[in-house]
Amino acid sequence: MAMTVEQVREAIGELNEFERELLYIDILQDFESVDPEIEKAWIEEVKRRAADIESGKAEFIPGEQVMAEIRQMLNERRSDSISSSGQS
């Protein structure tokens, strides 16, 4: 059975610093072999976003606000997950 993201996080927390570094390198190498079509699409997206910034079309949101919103969303998902599994 596959591990959940939470189980993976817990397992990573049990690794020493050297093991975490090796894992980090392995994960980065997995992402380096990106499909050329996907890479091309990302390049186009970056160009589009840069143009939006230069034209003033893009709306900037402070990083602290973004992180707070992400934390809130994650907490809500965790709460929903716990509620739906019958745990408290």
Q: Per-residue pLDDT tens for 9-35?
A: 999 999 998 899 999 988 888 877 778
88 pLDDT above the threshold of 70: no
The per-residue pLDDT for 32 is 74
Q: Is 56 left (phi over 0), alpha (psi -120 to 50) or beta?
A: left
Query: Could you tell me the residue ranges of all domains in the chain?
Result: 5-84
* Per-residue model confidence (pLDDT) at position 87: 56
pTM of the model: 0.41
**Short-list 21, 20, 24, 2, CA closest to 12:** 20
Q: Which helix (H) or strand (E) holds 62?
A: none
Scanning the structure block, which residue is given the tokens 């190498």?
29
The rounded Cα 27 to chain-centroid distance in angstroms is: 13
H or E element in which residue 10 lies: helix 5-13
* Tens-place pLDDT, residues 29-63: 887 777 889 889 988 999 999 999 889 999 889 99
